[in-house]
Structure 1
Amino acid sequence: MARTKKGRAVSGWLVIDKPAGITSTAIVNKVKWAFQAQKAGHAGTLDPAATGVLAVALGEATKTVPYITDALKCYRFVVRFGAATTTDDAEGSVIATSVQRPDDAAIEAALAAFRGDIQQVPPQFSAVKVDGERAYDLARDGEAMDLAARPLWVESLTLLARPDADHVELEMVCGKGGYVRSIARDLGQSLGCLGHVLWLRREWSGPFTAAQGATLEDIDRLARTDEIDALLQPLELGLADLPELPATPEGAARLKNGNPGMVLASSVDWGEEAWASYQGRAVAVGIYKSGELHPTRVFN
């Protein structure tokens, strides 16, 4: 006999404007409790010291998490020149210092190397796995690791302000897997002055913006009440980067059972990933072939 899932079968996206000083996992657990939800997960970790968009998926929306994780994201952050730290941010211990300070022209010139397709080495204190263990656990034990560089697409990296010689404010739009702390570290090294992140904020992630985010105070105030569901956004927003294909009534019924279903004609190419809708609601994600969507994920 199948076990009954505990909690409510509530689905949708909740955008949190994350404050500093709390982990992404702790926020997900708080949201899951507040909504009494059966299932919850987030699309992209933020460091405890970071603020801004943390998109939390509930229920069926968790099936769309990969599409938000893969979407472009925007970060605003300040780099402090003159010191390298163990964590590549202000939380770590200083391990080297420099009296050199670049001028604005040197910074602008150096930023060019961090745009487009780049290779980025994660921070020593990161969630990257090394022989089955998290890098931050090994780093806390004093172990230095030779972490492999990883590819990253940087759509843009812009100098926003230079309040003084020691600080520069930047904005970066990048793809999946970007470490702002690595950008700060490597920029400081390339300029010969060293550097680390003073603070960072994720302004938007895919279709979600910090301006639309709920606060933890909102969650506490509405926890386990009927009113809290008003904070949810539809799971379909997690599919914003995929083309939508309206399904026929018969096609929707077949798709719900995991079978290929007929969708209405569109400009989608054969073999392209898309999602099928019926009466405005997501039915399935799959591959379009000859008038039908072949489902890979089905929404209940």
Structure 2
Amino acid sequence: MPFCGPIACSATWGRARTKTNREYFGLSDAPRKRARRDLSGWLVFNKPYDMSSTEAVGKLRWLFGAKKAGHAGTLDPLATGVLPIAFGEATKTVPAVQDGTKVYHFDIVWGAATATDDTEGEVIATSDIRPDHAAIAAVLPRFRGVITQIPPAFSAIRIGGERAYDLARAGEKLDMPPRQVEIDALEIVTHTEARTRLSATCSKGTYVRALARDIAEALGTRGHVGALHRARVGGFTDADAISLDAVEAVEGPARDALLLPVAAGLAELPEIVIDARQAVTLRLGNPVLLTGRDAPVQLDAAWASLKGEAVALGMVENGQFKPRRVILPSG
């Protein structure tokens, strides 16, 4: 019979198996889930090609061990560039960032239209016409200001409760509802006979693939997006963007130091500076009266700050700041 000392064992005649200490105390040897922590701030992620926005959030949430994370504005897997990732209290400010100005750099490949209006889809129409620089420059003013777009069928818009891209992949013919968007700027960056790179400054909801398709059709040809890069979302730009390699290269406090404060996402909104007493009132969900010669009387959207730290998102009505979302203090 085998000897059963400090480490317990089980035995049968002629055969023994020693139990591990974890088994003895009833503990599982299965890998334990990584502990999640309260972490707040923004990571301006430089999303690589062929990674979805959802995959990016999942990867970075795991790397930072954050309890809560989200992104401010979906970027197609085939697009690169600025994808703001919000952690913790910063997720409350995501709508403010999503509503901010967007800047895209994109290539129009001339001579072929595709089912998806980018390189993923099959070619559905072709043209031998290759517009020159002058022709393109002449047509661009038609696409500045408030314009009407018909979004691509392969998009995340919901039709009867279903995602349009799911219906399109199932072979359904879709009647996509038109929408109005605003293009603040649209300029040629580079041009060759085969493709042209443009830069667009636009509002939330603009489909660059639809813009490329419509520009090509206005020039009497066909075209699709051959490359797409987002250079700005709200106050975040390429200059702030950090690659996945840079995040993985550091750990602990050095990794946390890559995060920007919650307030960094609110750069495009009016800031209302408050005192400590008012901060307590706002964090209880109550309005505060704004005093002083320059105090605003009416604002549709603003944020309140205490020593540069975000306290609340809200509006100013009749001289009172009224909180809509309260931001808990860091630490």
SS in 1 for 2:139: helix
**Corresponding residue to 2:64 among 14, 20, 35:** 35
Residues 57 and 70, structure 2, Cα contact 8 Å, conserved in 1: yes
Tell me how far apart the structure 1 counterparts of residues 183 and 167 of structure 2 sit (CA, whole Å). 28
Q: Unaligned regions of 5+ residues in structure 1, if any?
A: 1-5
Tell me how far apart the structure 1 counterparts of residues 202 and 66 of structure 2 sit (CA, whole Å). 31
SS in 2 for 1:222: coil
Cα shift at 1:271: 4.5
Residues 247 and 262, structure 1, Cα contact 8 Å, conserved in 2: no
RMSD: 1.5
Cα shift at 1:226: 2.9
Tell me how far apart the structure 2 counterparts of residues 199 and 271 of structure 1 sit (CA, whole Å). 39
Cα shift at 1:235: 0.8
Matches within 5 A, 1:240-259: 240-259=267-286
Cα shift at 1:108: 1.3
Q: Is structure 2 residue 222 aligned with structure 1 residue 202?
A: no
Matches within 5 A, 1:132-281: 132-163=161-192, 165-222=193-250, 225-265=252-292, 266-281=294-309
Cα shift at 1:86: 0.8
Which one-letter code corresponds to 1:145 in the other structure?
A: L
Which one-letter code corresponds to 2:283 in the other structure?
A: K
Matching residue of 2:85: 56
Cα shift at 1:219: 2.6
Cα shift at 1:29: 0.7
Cα shift at 1:259: 0.9
Name the stretch that deviates more: 49-58 or 274-283.
Answer: 274-283
TM-score normalised by length of structure 2: 0.85
Name the stretch that deviates more: 285-294 or 165-174.
Answer: 285-294
* Aligned residue pairs, count: 293
Q: Is structure 2 residue 326 aligned with structure 1 residue 298?
A: yes
Q: Which runs of 4+ in 1 moved over 6 A?
A: none
What are the superposed Cα offsets for residues 49-93 of structure 1, whole Å, 9 maximum, x if unpaired? 101100011111111111111111111111011000011011111
Cα shift at 1:44: 0.8
Name the stretch that deviates more: 266-275 or 61-70.
Answer: 266-275
Name the stretch that deviates more: 76-85 or 260-269.
Answer: 260-269
What is the identity percentage for the equivalent residue pairs of Structure 1 and Structure 2? 48
Tell me how far apart the structure 1 counterparts of residues 285 and 113 of structure 2 sit (CA, whole Å). 53
Tell me how far apart the structure 2 counterparts of residues 263 and 129 of structure 1 sit (CA, whole Å). 42
Which one-letter code corresponds to 2:189 in the other structure?
A: L
Cα shift at 1:221: 2.9
Which one-letter code corresponds to 1:42 in the other structure?
A: H
Give 1 or 2 for the bigger CA radius of gyration: 2
Matching residue of 2:19: none
Q: Is structure 2 residue 160 aligned with structure 1 residue 104?
A: no
Matching residue of 2:44: 15
Cα shift at 1:264: 4.7
Tell me how far apart the structure 1 counterparts of residues 312 and 194 of structure 2 sit (CA, whole Å). 51
Q: Unaligned regions of 5+ residues in structure 2, if any?
A: 1-34
Residues 116 and 155, structure 1, Cα contact 8 Å, conserved in 2: yes
Residues 73 and 173, structure 1, Cα contact 8 Å, conserved in 2: yes
Cα shift at 1:136: 0.8
SS in 2 for 1:231: coil
Which one-letter code corresponds to 1:71 in the other structure?
A: G
Cα shift at 1:289: 3.6
Tell me how far apart the structure 2 counterparts of residues 89 and 169 of structure 1 sit (CA, whole Å). 14
Cα shift at 1:42: 0.7
Residues 247 and 264, structure 1, Cα contact 8 Å, conserved in 2: no
Tell me how far apart the structure 1 counterparts of residues 246 and 183 of structure 2 sit (CA, whole Å). 34
Name the stretch that deviates more: 209-218 or 17-26.
Answer: 209-218
Choose between structure 1 and 2 for higher RCO, CA contacts under 8 A separated by at least 6 residues: 1
Cα shift at 1:103: 2.1
Residues 248 and 263, structure 1, Cα contact 8 Å, conserved in 2: no
Cα shift at 1:263: 4.0
Cα shift at 1:218: 2.1
Tell me how far apart the structure 2 counterparts of residues 291 and 267 of structure 1 sit (CA, whole Å). 7
What are the superposed Cα offsets for residues 137-184 of structure 1, whole Å, 9 maximum, x if unpaired? 111111121101111010011011112x12111000001011111111
SS in 2 for 1:238: helix
Which one-letter code corresponds to 2:53 in the other structure?
A: S
Cα shift at 1:267: 4.5
